Amino acid sequence: MYRNILFFQLIFVLLLAGCTDTSYNSDSYYPVTPVKFTEVKLTDNYWAPRIEINRTITIPYALNKNEETGRMDNFRKAAGMLDGTYIGRRFNDTDVYKVLEGVAYSLANHPDHVLEDQADSLIAIIAAAQEEDGYLTTGRTINPDNPAPGLGRERWIHLQGSHELYNSGHLYEAAVAYYDATGKTNFLDIAIKNANLLLDTFGPGKKQDAPGHQVIEMGLAKLYRATGNEEYLDLAKFFL
């Protein structure tokens, strides 16, 4: 139990390095323009060393924990790269996304080709795990006939507790952060494919269930700012 608490505390600390929106263009929906976190340089004797420790120790540790705990193996299983059953809680995919979001914030301030290559290799596995229509929840994809507890027998039928939309929201946040940091669309393309599935599934005249957990709304708003596709913002408003 202590190790699990420590793991999630480390993810939280990791994200502090870039805990802000990564798209900064003002528009009619968001009239305030925040300062980019990359324009703030910490050179003191307290925070600056901790940011460096975050980059050199905390991020590698968190990436390794995703391997040790089977979180990345869930994506490999969903992609057909590895045999076996789903490991962990139904929302464990999000921990992979949050660590990659932290990687992106670190790369934005401190380019690191080794870390970026590692992130790209993980993103490629995530892409392989995504279903053809864009669905991405490994707890169902690995074995649709026997999904992870709490997901429900079919897609979207248990949104109050399934965390399917919660998974998507964290995916979008990580993908936008990585796009902003690197200019690459490999992660963003995964998010867009998933978001387009949501556009086809939810909204007026379609499925109208409310998300059981916040985050999808923020993720869609960030995806809108990254792509300019107002349908994502409209869907965020619909969910709200």
Q: Using one digit for the tens of pLDDT, what is the confidence trace for 73-103?
A: 999 999 999 999 999 999 999 999 999 999 9
pTM of the shown model: 0.88
Of the pLDDT bands very low, low, confident and very high (cuts 50, 70, 90), residue 127 is very high
Dihedral, CA of residue 24, residue 27, residue 29 and residue 35, to nearest 10: 30
- Give the integer Cα–Cα distance in Å for 139 and 85: 9
Structural domain total, the chain: 1
Give me the domain span that covers residue 80: 2-239
- Give the integer Cα–Cα distance in Å for 185 and 210: 29
Q: What is the pLDDT of residue 32?
A: 83
Q: What is the pLDDT of residue 31?
A: 80
- The 10s digit of each residue's pLDDT in 32-55 is 888 888 999 899 999 999 999 999
Q: What is the pLDDT of residue 33?
A: 83
Q: How far is CA 129 from CA 14, 72, 74, 78, 82, in A?
A: 25, 10, 9, 5, 11
Give the mean model confidence (pLDDT) for residues 55-68.
98
Judged against a pLDDT cut of 50, whether residue 20 lies above it is answered with no
